[in-house]
Chains A and B, each alone.
Chain A
Amino acid sequence: MAITIFCASIIVFITFFILIKGITPFVKKYQIGEGSYSVNFFKFLFGTTWFVSPNNYGAGFVIINTIFVTLMALVIAIPVSILSSLFICKIAPKKISKVLNYAIEILASIPSVIFGLFGMGIITKFVKNLSSLFNYQSAGGISSLSAAIVLAIMIIPTITMVSNTSINAVDKKFIEGSLALGASKTQTNFKVVLTSARSGIFSGIILGVGRALGEATAVSMVCGNAGSGPSFNPFDITRTLTSTMLNSIHETSGLDYDIRFSVGVLLIIIILVTNFLLNFINNRIGKRYGQ
């Protein structure tokens, strides 16, 4: 019993400790060079530059960039994963769907740092070529688009696997009814199967968003840690909350280290808020269609 409660209270501990440590930079005075500084809380929330003077940490643009990169990743990942899971469950012959399913499972189990390596080695080159097509000089392909593609690759398996379950759970009666009414197979797939599995697919997307927002190593390897922003050019370097936390980690004390915890608090809040919002939307959709 005690152990169980301990396990359950981990989350309380986590929030508590990180909150305390995260508030420190705004309260405590840090000795940097000649003067002593603390960080202005409002500058931190709404600022558009990161670390130009000793205590200038503006995370506002970092939040916007994070959301922007996540949205781009979703734009890539959602069609791919929904159609993949439709293909796996309804269209493909059994053998092909098995192979595809296995490929997705392998993708899901590959650690994030390997996707980061893949992103640095292949995707940045691809993006570099793409940007030169648009006559834009990117920083060796290190950009928000690269980060978005890497994230998309990482969340495609998540969304696909959850969608698989919900598409497989669609009542056979709906499908047979639709076919009996004269709809073609493709029409049935897109209009009956996908709409009935809507809620399950949406929860897959929610999981994917959570993973995309919290992913650290892979993103930090391809996003370039921009000093200011926000930037909505997909070929520009960017900075996300997680990459900020991993940036120049080699120092282990002082304001520049402690500010990471404030960023961590921001990350937790953003993840909780998006999760809450998306779940709310999911419930609303479900109610409207009488599910």
Chain B
Amino acid sequence: MDNNEKKLKIRKIKDILLNGITYIFSSFGIVILIVLLTFIFSNGAKSLSWKTITSNYYEEAYFAKCETNEELTFSLEDGNDIYYSKVWGIGLKDSKDLENNPVVKIVYIDNLSPLKNALDQNTNERILVLKGQIIKRIQMVNTNGERSIISAKYGSQAIVDALDNSYQINELYYATMGGGIRGSLLTTLYLIFLTLIISLPLGIIASLYLSQFAKDNKLTKIIRSFIDMTSGIPSIIFGLVGVIVFIPIVNGVTSSSGGNIISGALTMTIMLLPTIIRTCEESLRAIPKSYTHASLALGASQTQTIMKVILPNSIPGILTSTLLALGRIIGESAALIFAIGSSIKDSISLTGSSTTLAVHIWSVLSGENPNYEQACAISILIIIIVLVLNVLVKLVSKKLNRFEVKS
């Protein structure tokens, strides 16, 4: 008996140990997810705004000139790291640009500021100096009639001091802030649109054939195993295919050069087709055979049956595969680095190279100075879209299950 009790005790200790290990290991998933989300949200939330989404990535430089007179002064108090120029009526603040270089940002412009009447240096037309733009260099004439040049690296305080000493700006070199993701967002949207337009019809027709017409023979088996094999190929290989096959084809047809959105869409198409065919086929198979038989018995032709009975009933499945495809297009990076390109662009055309949001992240991180804030900001955007898609897929597939519940 004593021996038995000992054994039981040892077993109990073993059980507790094993269970403890299980608890610890299985909490890994949640811990990783929480750390990842905190990292991304804490770094990116600040720089994600409507402005980031709608503005350009590259700075646009302007050169202006401007004069003022002694009578005009502004009563503004420095504070919150903002320095105000009493002569020019603007507030400046130290900030950082995309490459983490120090820049001076205009955070306030008085309505009466003489800078509102600034003229373009070359064309002598009115030019807008706006809040949020950055000052790169100012060339001015001070009260003693001496010319001086001061650049952004001296900081906003020095610039304001110099500005308050002069009534004439010969050259104001300023620029828009940059760092927006408008171009990449547009590319992503174009890519989604094009890819779905090409891949959905192909996928639906193929799955219709496989589920309705294909005979159960060797050829069908081979076709099926080939389609399955395609889904096991890593995405970077599809990128290589894009380079070898699609880029030359598109270049030949449209006289473009290098990667472009169309070749990207074609690459994504062959990548997504297996998934689309699989999901659609499953939903087509879930439709009870009695529907088809009833329709045929009522005298409808096969085409009519497919168009009016089978396709409408498989819409949830088609929707699911569309949503899954969407998620993969948004998240794909390796293949698109090859097929579309890896340099960020502001002006987007279907035949030109650009980056999608995911590749944008890769691009800003793979340079000399990785820009974590922007990468995290885009990641937030992607994660939110992916989560929404996830929820939608769940909702739709609940609908999809209605046949199984009935039978």
Contact = CB atoms under 8 A, between A and B. Distances in A.
B361 A114 contact: yes
A186 B244 contact: no
B237 A221 contact: no
A249 B29 contact: no
Contact of A249 (B22, B233, B342): B342
Q: Is the interface of A mostly helix, strand, loop or mixed?
A: helix
A260 B338 CA distance: 11
Contacts of A129: none
22 contacts: A3-B209, A4-B206, A4-B209, A5-B223, A9-B226, A13-B241, A13-B245, A14-B230, A18-B237, A80-B26, A80-B28, A83-B22, A84-B26, A86-B22, A106-B390, A114-B331, A118-B40, A184-B15, A186-B14, A213-B234, A242-B234, A268-B237
Contacts of B332: 111
A239 B237 CA distance: 17
B365 interface: yes
B209 A11 contact: no
Q: Is the interface of B mostly helix, strand, loop or mixed?
A: helix
Interface of A: 1, 3-14, 17-18, 21, 79-80, 83-84, 86-88, 91-92, 99-100, 103-107, 109-118, 120-122, 153, 156-157, 160, 184-187, 190, 210-211, 213-217, 220-221, 242, 245-246, 249-250, 252, 260-261, 264, 267-268, 271, 275
Contacts of A215: 234
Contacts of A12: 226
Contact of B234 (A11, A18, A267): A267
B350 interface: no
A217 B366 CA distance: 10
A156 B36 CA distance: 15
Contacts of A87: 22-23, 25-26
Interface in B312-343: 327, 330-334, 337-338, 342-343
A186 B19 contact: yes
B19 A117 contact: no
B39 interface: yes
Contacts of A104: 29
A88 B25 CA distance: 11
B270 A10 contact: yes
Interface in B259-277: 270, 273-274, 277
A113 B361 contact: yes
B1 interface: no
A111 B330 contact: yes
Contacts of A261: 240, 244
Interface residues of B, number: 79
Contact of A1 (B209, B244, B386): B209
B334 A186 contact: no
Contacts of B22: 83, 86-87, 91
Interface string B340-373: 0011000000000000001101100110001010
Given A5-B223, A17-B241, A109-B390, A217 B232 contact: no
A264 B36 contact: no
Contacts of A242: 234, 236, 334
B30 A103 contact: yes
Interface stretch (B60-68, B164-172, B375-383): B375-383
Contact of B229 (A11, A103, A267): A11
B162 interface: no
A269 B338 CA distance: 21
B365 A117 contact: yes
A105 B30 CA distance: 11
A156 B235 contact: no
Given A7-B273, A112-B331, A106 B387 contact: yes
Contacts of A268: 233, 237
A7 B206 contact: yes
B277 A7 contact: yes
